[in-house]
A and B are shown apart, each in its own frame.
Chain A
Amino acid sequence: GIQVEQSPPDLILQEGANSTLRCNFSDSVNNLQWFHQNPWGQLINLFYIPSGTKQNGRLSATTVATERYSLLYISSSQTTDSGVYFCAVSQGGSEKLVFGKGMKLTVNP
C-alpha cells in the first residue's frame, strides 16, 4: 500500500518562530489532508489539499502532487500550535485515509 513519511519527527521552537513540516508519499493520491492533534488528544482537520496551495490565518499548505510531497507552513508560532501534526492520503477516489506517523511540535513561550 501507499507509504506516508513525515519529517522532521520532532521539532522544538520558540514562540514567534516559523516552521515547515514535510509529508512525502509513495504513489499518486487524490486526497491529502493535514490534521493537528492538540495536547488533549483532539484531532482537528487543518486542510484538505490534494494539490495546490491554501492558507488559513498563520497556517498554509502546499501540495505538489506530481512530486509526491506536501508542506505545512506555520508562521509566527504560538504555544497553542503545540501538538502532533499528521498528514494523511488516499488514492483512487477512496475516503480510506492512510496516516503518517506524525510530527510532534513543541512551542515554548
Chain B
Amino acid sequence: NAGVTQTPKFQVLKTGQSMTLQCAQDMNHEYMSWYRQDPGMGLRLIHYSVGAGITDQGEVPNGYNVSRSTTEDFPLRLLSAAPSQTSVYFCASTLLRGNSPLHFGNGTRLTVT
C-alpha cells in the first residue's frame, strides 16, 4: 500500500521558472491538500480539494495553482517561482467521513535561487 506519494523529493529552480509538484494517493480519499513548512512557522495550508473537480484556497494560496481531475491526483503548480517559495511542501489526504486521520506524503524540498 503506497499511501500518499510525492515527486520529486528535491528540486532546485531559478526565479521565474515554473514547475509542478506531483501528489498521488491510492486510498480512495476524497480530501487532498497541500501544505508548506517553513522554519518556526509550522505547516500552512496552501490549497485543498474535497473531490474531483473541486478545489479551494487555504491560508497561503498566492503563487500556486491546483487542479483535481481524478480522485487519486492533486498536482501543485508554481507559475513563476520566487525565492519566498523556498520551502518543504507536503501533500496530505483523508476521508471525508469526519473521524479519519490525515495522511502525509514524504515531502518535496524546493529551493528557488
Contacts and interface: CB of A to CB of B under 8 A. Distances in A.
A96 B42 contact: no
A100 B90 contact: no
Nearest to A95: B31
Contacts of A66: none
B84 to A, nearest CB: 19
B19 interface: no
B88 interface: yes
B100 A99 contact: no
Contacts of A93: 98
A99 B106 contact: no
B106 A41 contact: yes
A100 to B, nearest CB: 6
A100 B42 contact: yes
Given A86-B43, A95-B31, A96-B45, A43 B101 contact: no
Interface string B40-78: 111111001010000000110000000000000000000
Interface residues of B, number: 27
Contacts of A97: 45, 102
Contacts of A95: 31, 33, 48, 50, 94, 96, 102
Contacts of B50: 95
Given A41-B88, A96-B33, A96-B58, A48 B100 contact: yes
6 contacts: A41-B106, A42-B107, A43-B107, A86-B42, A95-B102, A97-B45
Given A43-B92, A101-B42, 18 more contacts: A1-B59, A35-B102, A41-B106, A41-B107, A42-B107, A45-B102, A48-B101, A86-B42, A88-B102, A95-B31, A95-B33, A95-B48, A96-B48, A96-B58, A97-B102, A99-B35, A99-B43, A100-B42
Interface of A: 1, 30-31, 33, 35, 41-45, 48, 86, 88, 93, 95-102
Interface of B: 31, 33, 35, 40-45, 48, 50, 58-59, 88, 90, 92, 94, 96, 98-104, 106-107
